[in-house]
Amino acid sequence: MVHECKSKRTVETALEILVGKWKPVILFHLIDQGTLRFSELQRLIPDVTKKMLTTQLRELEYHDIINRKVYAQIPPKVEYSITEYGEGLKPVLLSMHEWGLTHLDHLDDLYGESQETIEK
Amino acid sequence: MVHECKSKRTVETALEILVGKWKPVILFHLIDQGTLRFSELQRLIPDVTKKMLTTQLRELEYHDIINRKVYAQIPPKVEYSITEYGEGLKPVLLSMHEWGLTHLDHLDDLYGESQETIEK
DNA sequence: TATCGTAGTATACAAAAAGTAACCTAAGGA
DNA sequence: TCCTTAGGTTACTTTTTGTATACTACGATA
């Protein structure tokens, strides 16, 4: 049971950080690969625009979930990675992932919805 | 590590269900109290408007997270409760809650932000 | 007869989030 | 001299969310 002693805003606080159309995918890739450049993220997430990628990364950075490392080079090079603090989100993402798997099965059961399978 | 074999959309699927300004609070109260009437939810969540409460409840119902039981009475009586399937979200909410607690501490450390404490 | 309470709906509007398209920068290479 | 590259920014539009207010049906109560 969720205990309420401190504040009711804890779940919302976690959501605040996770919510954003591209944040889960970004975190997924950074957790998976460790460190990625801006352009690598762009390639891994084909539908994201530069603008959205930038804003989502900035928000994650603002919350100290990811690191942004700029190399003083031309052309520029910027690397993103999960912070130690951000690692703490893994259990959250994992439980959501687990639940998502079940939910997709549930949907399959209900509507026979076919879910795209993405290979590595 | 989050494994990608089935689909990347699992986390987003979970988020879809949880996201909405009032959904976490609604779920919180329903998990906490078991069954609640529309008006009881309104009283427990003072800032929510009828419209938002209705839409958020409908969305949760659509996803089979909560039950809506209508009594054929005047004045109307409608009761909401978590479905068995919806119970599966508890681990997700709990891990978010846990993370939220840590995050609030982290914020306290960084900015000394004071967080309102709500008593039961 | 007027008002109260329940669980809403309808309508209009405001604000926030997301998307589109074009532009910027400076170095190195053709 | 112009083009390319990487990682953006800016201005603008569209879509999604959320708010505010009014309204309904029906029976009970005063």
What integer best gives the mean pLDDT of chain A?
86
Distance CA B50, CA B59 (A): 14
Q: How close, in Å, is residue B112 to chain A by CA atoms?
A: 15
What residues of chain B lie within 8 A of the CB of A96, using their CB? 10-11, 14-15, 92
Mean pLDDT, contiguous 10-residue spans, chain B (120 residues) = 54 92 95 96 94 96 96 93 95 93 74 39
B100's tokens: 């939220």
Mutation target among B3, B5, B11 for the A interface, most CBs of A within 10 A: B11
Whether A92 shows a pLDDT value over 90: the answer reads: yes
Q: Average pLDDT in the A109-115 region?
A: 51
The Cα–Cα gap between A91 and A28 comes to 12
pLDDT at B110: 56
Instruction: Give the global pTM.
Output: 0.86
Tokens 């996803």, residue? Answer: B63
Reported confidence tier of residue A7, pLDDT bands at 50, 70, 90: low
Report the DSSP pairing between strands B35-37 and A77-82. Answer: unpaired
Each residue of A21-32: pLDDT tens digit?
999 999 999 999
Nucleotide at minimal C1' distance from the B68 CA: C7
Taking only the tens place, the pLDDT of each residue in A44-75 is 999 999 999 999 999 999 999 999 999 999 99
| Rounded mean pLDDT, A97-105 | 87
pLDDT for A59 equals 97
User: What is the rounded distance in angstroms from the CA atom of residue A15 to the CA atom of residue B23?
Assistant: 11
pLDDT band at A107 (very low <50, low <70, confident <90, very high): low
B88 touches chain A (CB under 8 A): yes
How far does Cα B24 stand from its chain's mean position? Answer: 3
Q: What is the dihedral of CA B38, B44, B50, B51, to 10 degrees?
A: -100
CA proximity to A14, closest of B15, B85, B29: B15
